[in-house]
Amino acid sequence: MKKSTTARDNGKGCGNDLDESKKTDDKIGFITFIITSFARAYKMNKQQAYLYLKQYGGLDYLFKHWWALHTDNPYWAVRDMFNICHKNGGAK
């Protein structure tokens, strides 16, 4: 007898695949949005912002805390990353 599948379990007997996929999509979308917001706030292009955040620890902070940061106003995430970068030697 063939097991019926639903869109939720994708035939694998577990609904976690879609949940993990959604979480990954949310994380990528948020991180992309914040890097763009950071670039706009500090008058950089996106590549400059990415490299600056990577060099001075802002990306590490973003990857580690994205779940909490995405629930707040983006202004605070951008500001937090600026402060982290400044503490690690980034320009003020």
In the predicted model, what is the mean pLDDT of residues 75-83?
94
Q: Band of the pLDDT at 38, cuts 50, 70, 90?
A: very high
pLDDT-derived band at 14, boundaries 50, 70, 90: low
Which residue blocks in 2-73 are alpha helix, DSSP H? Answer: 16-41, 46-55, 58-69
Q: What pLDDT is attached to residue 6?
A: 46
Instruction: Output the pTM of the full model.
Output: 0.74
Say whether pLDDT at 58 is over 60: yes
Identify the pLDDT of residue 15.
60
